[in-house]
Structure 1
Amino acid sequence: MTITLQDVQIILGLLVDGLPITGRVEQDYDALCMTQLGFPFPENNRTGGRIQIRQLSRWFPNLPNNADDVEVQRYARAYILQLLGGTLFADKSNNLVHITYLQFLEDFEEAGQYSWGSATLAHLYRQLCLAVDVDGAEIAGLVILLQLWAWDRLPFLAPIMRGHLRDDIIPNEELFPPPPYGHRWRHALETTGTSMHVLTKYRKMIDMQAPDEVIWEPYPETVIRDLPAYCSSGLAIWRKRAPLLFFCVVEMYNPDRVMRQFGLKQMIPPLHSTSMELHKID
């Protein structure tokens, strides 16, 4: 089992089929900040090419009521930058975000065409590899995705949910589009029947998992059908073998190793041909 592009798009609603998040990391950071945010960051608030997220939120607090279009765009970039550094591409510093992300936020129409979902998965794959090292004590990346993925597939880990995906009435779907699948965990959760922070208990229960105790397909057609279109726009590449790119990080995406997650029969060993035949489970 693994986290796939399907999981990323359905749980988070991020685009997985688009322009790659790659390019030069080294930039003229002062010029980039001046152009995109309106001022260069002081040297004492920078660590190389990274700035403090906490300081960024202080410089861009609540948007003024009389803000013009340029100021609105700068506030939007600052907010997105906090999301990228504090959530999607979080590192172990827990308070730094790289300035280079601003190069993808100059044009908001173009920014929406980048494959943020595949870059997020590439980053998480790499961080999982580093976390299992014998000397690894922490993990970075979008760990909330890992948590929700586990809750959807391993019932013994999941708390009891109070509420459902469509409980909230959205007054204007043009301004507030329907949320992705992972949003349903926003409700109050009951954890009294779930082991919490007991590592040995988790290990034992994972070791004892039988195949029929795993939810291999938590997103049946009935679930996907009710989700907004942006949660399934990349359906055509969910089962494609391809490299995932995130700047210098290149992680191979191998959905052919987890065919059961797509309702298919797992071949042993997996077939690595681009024209592999996928056998539907009877």
Structure 2
Amino acid sequence: MYRALCDACTKKERLATFVGCPLQLQLWSYERFVIGRPIVDQFPYPEEWYGEPEEDGPTMGSMWCRRRSHWAHEQAHNAYELFRSQFDYLHPDNMVWTPYSHLFIQACAPFGLSSLCSRDEEYWITKKSLIFDIYVEEYSPHHVMRQFGRFQAHEFA
């Protein structure tokens, strides 16, 4: 997804496309930016959302899907310029750097989340290369340390 996002953002062609997992990118942006996201209630997940196996619990993304029928008809048309200008003036203090804090998870999912949400957690900040198809790229977790509740040194170009 990183490669596809980079390719889509840097293409000069009129019909540049984004490939990857747009739902993942959409949920990621909803959790971190107030720009362009729907307004949803903040009630805890109901107990009936939890299945028998540990993997069958809700995820954090469940919050954005449960009231879809309420806001799906409220679309923003021709909002590109508005969203772009809001992003241009976005300050680091306006970001939600740790959207999955322990307190927030407890408030949303009092019975816990699916075990799949934290499976392989030890790999999240690995410093190994990523291999996709014929590409081998450095994974750079030092660019996203804030979202793991860790110190992130500022880099200036």
Q: Give me the whole-angstrom Cα distance separating, in 2, the residues matched to 1:181 and 1:215.
A: 14
Secondary structure (helix, strand or coil) at the match of 1:212 reads: helix
Aligned-residue offset at 1:168: 5.5
| Residue 129 of structure 1: aligned partner | 6
Which among 179, 186, 200 is matched to residue 58 of structure 2?
179
- Greater shift, 240-249 or 184-193, is seen at 184-193
Secondary structure (helix, strand or coil) at the match of 2:37 reads: coil
The letter of the residue matching 2:80 is L
Aligned residues: 147
The answer to whether the Cα contact below 8 Å between 1:165 and 1:183 also exists between their aligned partners in 2 is no
| Residue 229 of structure 1: aligned partner | 115
The letter of the residue matching 1:181 is M
The letter of the residue matching 2:23 is I
Please, what TM-score do these two structures have when normalized by structure 1? 0.46
Aligned-residue offset at 1:228: 2.4
1:246 aligns with 2:124: no
C-alpha change, 1:243 and 1:195, in structure 2 (3 Å) is same
Secondary structure (helix, strand or coil) at the match of 1:181 reads: coil
| Residue 29 of structure 2: aligned partner | 150
Secondary structure (helix, strand or coil) at the match of 2:2 reads: helix
C-alpha change, 1:172 and 1:219, in structure 2 (3 Å) is closer
The answer to whether the Cα contact below 8 Å between 2:51 and 2:57 also exists between their aligned partners in 1 is no
Aligned-residue offset at 1:137: 2.3
C-alpha change, 1:165 and 1:265, in structure 2 (3 Å) is same
Q: Structure 1, residues 28-52: CA drift from partner, whole Å, max 9, x if none?
A: xxxxxxxxxxxxxxxxxxxxxxxxx
**Identity across the alignment (%):** 29
1:259 aligns with 2:145: yes
Aligned-residue offset at 1:205: 0.3
- The alignment yields a C-alpha RMSD, in angstroms, of 2.9
C-alpha change, 1:175 and 1:156, in structure 2 (3 Å) is closer
Aligned-residue offset at 1:251: 3.2
Structure with bigger RCO (C-alpha 8 Å, 6+ apart): 1
Aligned-residue offset at 1:255: 1.0
Aligned-residue offset at 1:252: 2.4
Gaps of 5+ in 1: 1-123, 271-282
Aligned-residue offset at 1:216: 0.7
Q: Structure 1, residues 98-155: CA drift from partner, whole Å, max 9, x if none?
A: xxxxxxxxxxxxxxxxxxxxxxxxxx11211221211152211101111110010001
Q: Give me the whole-angstrom Cα distance separating, in 2, the residues matched to 1:194 and 1:159.
A: 9
| Residue 205 of structure 1: aligned partner | 86
Aligned-residue offset at 1:258: 2.1
C-alpha change, 1:197 and 1:219, in structure 2 (3 Å) is farther
The answer to whether the Cα contact below 8 Å between 1:162 and 1:187 also exists between their aligned partners in 2 is no
Q: Structure 1, residues 42-94: CA drift from partner, whole Å, max 9, x if none?
A: xxxxxxxxxxxxxxxxxxxxxxxxxxxxxxxxxxxxxxxxxxxxxxxxxxxxx
Please, what TM-score do these two structures have when normalized by structure 2? 0.77
Q: Give me the whole-angstrom Cα distance separating, in 2, the residues matched to 1:268 and 1:171.
A: 40
Q: Give me the whole-angstrom Cα distance separating, in 1, the residues matched to 2:149 and 2:54.
A: 35
